[in-house]
Amino acid sequence: MATVRIHGPETPKELAEFSTDHGVKDLAGLLTEIAKSNDYYRKLLLRNGSLRTDLSILVNGRSCMFLGGLQAEVRQADIVDILLPMIGG
């Protein structure tokens, strides 16, 4: 199972980390399946029906941008971190 961790100040603790037996091959498929699972994740991951582009996503600690973007392979033992954009200083 892949582990998904969501990092953001308003993420409820009970939704911040979970494991999923996703059955998909890439990051886009995983995120789409997660978005379908409940309203919180849908609002978090989608904008106008498409995956948001302002999220930072790591697979096993590496930015997905260095692994093929949303086409990056996601295996069962991977850890996927979703970092929400934050403002302030």
* Number of domains present in the structure of the chain: 1
Q: In the prediction, which pLDDT does 88 show?
A: 57
Average pLDDT over residues 5-27: 89
- Residue 39: band (very low, low, confident or very high) from pLDDT cuts 50, 70, 90: very high
Establish if 89 belongs to a structural domain: no
pTM, full prediction: 0.89
Establish if 53 belongs to a structural domain: yes
Establish if 88 belongs to a structural domain: no
Establish if 37 belongs to a structural domain: yes
Asked if the model's pLDDT at residue 89 lies above 70, the reply is no
Establish if 32 belongs to a structural domain: yes
46-65 residue pLDDT tens: 999 898 888 999 999 999 99
Domain span holding position 23: 2-83
The CATH code of the domain that includes 60 is: 3.10.20.30
Establish if 61 belongs to a structural domain: yes
DSSP string, 40-85: HHHHHHEETTEE-SS-EEEETTEEGGGTTGGG-B--TT-EEEEE--
DSSP-assigned letter for residue 34: H
Average pLDDT over residues 57-86: 94
> Which residues are within 8 A (CB) of 50 and not within 5 positions of it... i.e. 6 or more apart?
none
Q: In the prediction, which pLDDT does 87 show?
A: 62
